[in-house]
């Protein structure tokens, strides 16, 4: 039996899998990111989550052969050692493999540590690994520096059209015909455009999620024929495709298989279809496993790259 | 004798002026913005600043005929009433006129409440008032939504080139020849590009100021002949010029005089010269008074618009 832990930026997911990587039991919690909720709260949440997941499945620590963990923010140096210590408190015996959230997503999606992962959720990035195990990341610099094609970026395009319309800027015919500014004001329940400032900057910690919350509106307006919404999504897909092509070119392996991850690419929509077209995919890529199942996948492979550390008790 | 108070986003300035608006005494403090430092700290700083400024000039409250105050963030409803109460504690008798930071900057720059003010400091905006006293603001939506042509926006362009270079994105010949990515890494003392993430997101409260701190590098590289830095500044100037033209068009008064404000337009540089050219200005616009002197200007005019409130004891 394996335990997978997916510590993304906004959610903590745990899954117990059998030896064939079928999920036996699964749980989801809020963010366990120590940068947002503090180290003590993160420690407590992770340990509780592990105990609860095992208890609900009527399992003991000794039933778990290996644990795989993927965590966001691997550039933060302390993360791996700290997380290992947190886990060792409640899981003294199993083999533990620590990796990043993009690594487990790629491994899960492809069922192997080779391929391209185009990720668009609240943020965006392309992560890729070639046959020699060399990895590269394109994008992933966060919301201030781009996150092109992400839910945040798409929501921001809607807000920028909203502010340009409110300012009385000259608009293109396409922009002038768009219902997006009006629909944005309705969704956010603004009586006056300037209310946007308080809405956006008033609670900075949740601003990216709230902006990304406008992306479904852009998707539905595009489906309904709004050419301006469609142009925003085409632009986002173009930039994601360029990131994927850059990653494959850097790894000198143009035929790497491509997978999608993140809420914006989870199903067929204007963004994901445009991306498929630009990447010349014959069909919509379906992931083999979710990231949380990709996490324990490490234990039966001898991939060395991509691991932050492995420990045996 | 008049007292002017300029409560911008990052600094509190006070100036005592005689009846001809010559500055007799001047003081500068850090931010008095209650949203950043808290209401109690802001109250204490503003009151101390008023007391110190008067004491240093050996003046009493009774020597002050009128006080003008311009404050940032007028969209925050409580600001005016709160600020008035704070000031009334230490200035019981003088006439007090409260306005916004852009109003006092426009009035100071033009020496009248008519004209266009193109503002580029950490952020950017265009504020304009026509002969009928009608006002309009274009831009000023803050760093997440644009602030085109501002110090923050210019610094961000440099960082985006830095990340694209670090990612191995295909660069244009102009971009590939630019020294900006290398000079950015040197200025920020990065050993690895990924250190940018901690630098940018680690202390969110000061991120905009730190990004804007890269703008002088872009200006100096542009002066030194870096075509990529020059293109960024040309783009910023183009967007500021469009904002100014939009404002004048909205007020149906195309011949409104134009003034500049903010650190990025304080002197002759690639950005400000390009802006002059685009706005067809015969010479570099020199402001009549700084904003802190524009503040008390209200007391001897019967402008009603643009004032948040006036009070007599």
A166-200 residue pLDDT tens: 999 999 999 999 999 999 999 999 999 989 988 99
B242 contacts on A by Cβ (under 8 Å): 169
Tokens of B65: 């005929």
CATH of the domain at B99: 3.30.420.40
Query: What are the two backbone dihedrals, phi and then psi, of residue B117, each rounded to the nearest 5 degrees?
Result: -120, 115
**Same structural domain for residues B164 and B258?**
yes
- Measured in angstroms, the CA of B112 and the nearest CA of chain A are apart by 24
pLDDT recorded at residue A44: 94
Which residue pairs, CB below 8 angstroms and at least 24 apart, start in A88-92? A88/A311, A88/A313, A89/A47, A90/A47, A90/A50, A90/A51, A90/A61, A91/A3, A91/A50, A91/A61, A91/A64, A91/A67, A92/A61, A92/A313
**Same structural domain for residues B117 and B220?**
yes
pLDDT recorded at residue B79: 72
**Same structural domain for residues A224 and A95?**
no
Q: What percent of chain A is modeled with pLDDT above 90?
A: 77
pLDDT recorded at residue A78: 53
B160/A167 CB distance under 8 A:
no
Average pLDDT, chain B: 91
Count, residues in chain B: 313
**Same structural domain for residues A120 and A243?**
yes
Confidence check: pLDDT of B179 > 80: yes
Of the residues A197, A198, A252, the best mutation for testing chain B's interface (the one with the most B CB atoms within 10 Å of its CB) is A197
**Same structural domain for residues A123 and A224?**
yes
Tokens of B161: 């080139």
- Measured in angstroms, the CA of A163 and the nearest CA of chain B are apart by 8
Q: What are the pLDDT digits (tens) for B110-148?
A: 999 999 999 999 999 999 999 999 999 999 999 999 899
Type and span of the H or E element at A127? strand A124-129
Q: Which of B302, B288, B308, B309 is nearest to B21 (CA)?
A: B288
The neighbouring-strand residues paired with B135 are B129
Comparing A69-73, B93-97, B224-228, which segment has the lowest mean pLDDT? A69-73
A211 neighbors A152 (Cβ within 8 angstroms): yes
B204 contacts on A by Cβ (under 8 Å): 204
Q: What are the pLDDT digits (tens) for A209-254?
A: 999 999 999 999 999 999 999 999 999 999 999 999 999 999 999 8
Residue in B with minimal Cα distance to A36: B202
Q: What are the pLDDT digits (tens) for B272-289?
A: 999 999 999 999 999 999
- Measured in angstroms, the CA of A42 and the nearest CA of chain B are apart by 18
B167 contacts on A by Cβ (under 8 Å): 137-139, 243, 246
- Other CB atoms within a 10 A radius of the CB of residue B194 amount to 16
Confidence check: pLDDT of B306 > 90: no
Assembly ipTM: 0.88
Mean pLDDT of the region A301-313: 71
A169/B242 CB distance under 8 A:
yes
Give the pairing of strands A124-129 and A135-139.
antiparallel
Q: How far is CA A15 from CA A31, A291, A303, B266, in A?
A: 16, 10, 22, 59
Q: What are the pLDDT digits (tens) for A201-210?
A: 888 778 999 9
**Same structural domain for residues B142 and B253?**
yes
pLDDT recorded at residue A313: 55
**Same structural domain for residues B169 and B299?**
no
pLDDT recorded at residue B75: 46
B111 neighbors B285 (Cβ within 8 angstroms): no
**Same structural domain for residues B167 and B223?**
yes
Q: Closest partner residue to B168 among A145, A197, A246, by Cβ?
A: A246
- Measured in angstroms, the CA of B300 and the nearest CA of chain A are apart by 31
**Same structural domain for residues B120 and B11?**
no
Q: What are the pLDDT digits (tens) for A252-283?
A: 998 999 999 999 999 999 999 999 999 999 99
pLDDT recorded at residue B298: 82
Q: Closest partner residue to B200 among A139, A142, A160, by Cβ?
A: A142
- To the nearest 10 degrees (0 to 180), the angle between helices A151-167 and A180-188 is 110
**Same structural domain for residues B126 and B275?**
yes
Strand boundaries in B72-130, DSSP class E: 95-100, 115-120, 124-129
Question: How many CA atoms, within 13 angstroms, populate the side-chain half-sphere of residue B246?
Answer: 22
B144/A200 CB distance under 8 A:
yes
Confidence check: pLDDT of A72 > 80: no
The neighbouring-strand residues paired with A116 are A128, A258
Confidence check: pLDDT of B205 > 80: no
**Same structural domain for residues A89 and A6?**
yes
Q: What are the pLDDT digits (tens) for B20-77?
A: 999 999 999 988 877 777 788 989 999 999 999 999 999 999 999 999 998 876 445 5
pLDDT recorded at residue A75: 46
The neighbouring-strand residues paired with B5 are B14, B69
Instruction: Name every residue in A having a CB less than 8 A away from some CB of B.
Output: 75-76, 136-139, 141-142, 144-146, 156, 159-160, 163, 167-170, 194, 196-198, 200-201, 204, 207, 211, 242-243, 246, 249-250
**Same structural domain for residues B171 and B235?**
yes
Mean pLDDT of the region B233-241: 98
Confidence check: pLDDT of B150 > 80: yes
Residue span of the structural domain in which B138 resides: 113-287
Of the residues A36, A147, A152, A167, the best mutation for testing chain B's interface (the one with the most B CB atoms within 10 Å of its CB) is A167
Question: Residues 6 or more apart from A289 whose CB is under 8 A from it?
Answer: A21, A108, A109, A111, A297
- Measured in angstroms, the CA of B125 and the nearest CA of chain A are apart by 11
Total domains in chain A come to 2
B145/A156 CB distance under 8 A:
yes
Strand boundaries in B130-186, DSSP class E: 135-139
pLDDT recorded at residue A158: 98
């Amino acid at each position: 039996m394996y335990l997978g832990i997916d510590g993304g930026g906004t959610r903590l997911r745990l899954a117990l899998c059998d030896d064939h990587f079928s999920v036996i039991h699964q749980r989801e919690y809020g963010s366990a990111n120590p940068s947002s909720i503090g180290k003590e709260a993160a420690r407590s949440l992770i340990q509780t989550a592990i105990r609860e997941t095992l208890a609900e499945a009527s399992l003991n620590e000794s039933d778990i052969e290996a644990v795989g963990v993927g965590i966001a923010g691997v550039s933060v140096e302390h993360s791996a050692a700290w997380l290992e210590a947190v886990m060792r408190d409640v899981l003294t015996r199993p083999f533990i493999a620590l990796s990043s959230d993009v690594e487990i997503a790629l491994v899960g999606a492809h069922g192997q540590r080779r391929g391209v992962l185009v990720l668009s959720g609240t943020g965006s990035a392309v992560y890729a690994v070639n046959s020699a195990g060399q990895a590269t990341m394109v994008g992933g610099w966060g919301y201030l520096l781009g996150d092109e094609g992400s839910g945040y970026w798409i929501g921001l395009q809607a807000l920028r059209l909203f502010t340009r319309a409110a300012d009385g800027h000259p608009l293109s015919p396409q922009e002038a015909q768009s219902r997006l500014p009006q629909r944005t004001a309705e969704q956010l329940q603004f009586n006056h455009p300037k209310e946007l400032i308080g809405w956006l900057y008033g609670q900075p910690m949740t601003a990216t999620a709230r902006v990304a919350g406008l992306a479904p509106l852009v998707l539905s307006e595009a489906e309904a024929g709004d050419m301006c919404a469609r142009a925003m999504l085409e632009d986002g897909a173009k930039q994601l495709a360029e990131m994927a092509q850059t990653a494959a070119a850097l790894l000198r392996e143009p035929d790497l298989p491509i997978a999608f991850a993140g809420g914006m690419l989870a199903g067929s929509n204007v963004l994901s279809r445009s991306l498929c077209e630009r990447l010349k995919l014959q069909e919509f890529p379906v992931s083999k496993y979710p990231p949380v199942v990709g996490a324990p996948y490490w234990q039966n492979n001898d991939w060395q790259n991509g691991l932050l550390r492995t420990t045996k008790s």
